[in-house]
Amino acid sequence: MKSKIAPLVTTIVLVAASSVGGVWLGSKLFSVSGRAQDLTHEEFHERLFSELRLSPEQRALMEALEARYAPENSALRQALRNANRVLADQLATEPEFTMDVEVAVTNVHAAMLKLQKASVRHLYEMRNILDDRQKETFDRHVAETMQQYASQSID
């Protein structure tokens, strides 16, 4: 009896842990915050924009870019939440790692990938608005932020 339950429990724990880990990592990568972990997306941008010393024209372009990106970002984040809900439902109802669970995990990863690609594309669109001096500051800031996320433990 114990030998039948142990693999099932191990599988469920591993799937749950990888799902939670993926969601946590995605939230850390895609919820933009700088050196202080409590910064909102808007505070991050304000701090970055003030460091870049944007001209009024650049600020207007950045704000227009943000306005265009916001609906896509919102939709992608909602798709990720939905994929995670489906996975959570599968974990709650499936007694073992089935094809439905595998599909749910794959869908979470696909949603995270779409969000990450859109986020990186958005960064490059922001970068295109900047002059060469500002691009250096921007690149350093983005690289430092991503390195911070990469060095954080996944506890």
The pLDDT tens digits of the residues spanning 88-124 come to 999 999 999 999 999 999 999 999 999 999 999 999 9
Q: Domains in the chain: how many in total?
A: 1
Calpha distance 51→79 (Å, rounded)? 33
Give burial (CB, 10 Å; 0-12/13-18/19+) of 100.
Answer: middle
Cα separation values, 73 from 22, 26, 86, 120, 151, Å: 18, 13, 20, 11, 25
Mean pLDDT of the chain: 80
Q: Which CATH number goes with the domain that contains 104? A: 1.20.120.1490
**Domain around 11:** 2-31+39-151
- Which pLDDT score is estimated for 38? 46
pLDDT at position 100: 95
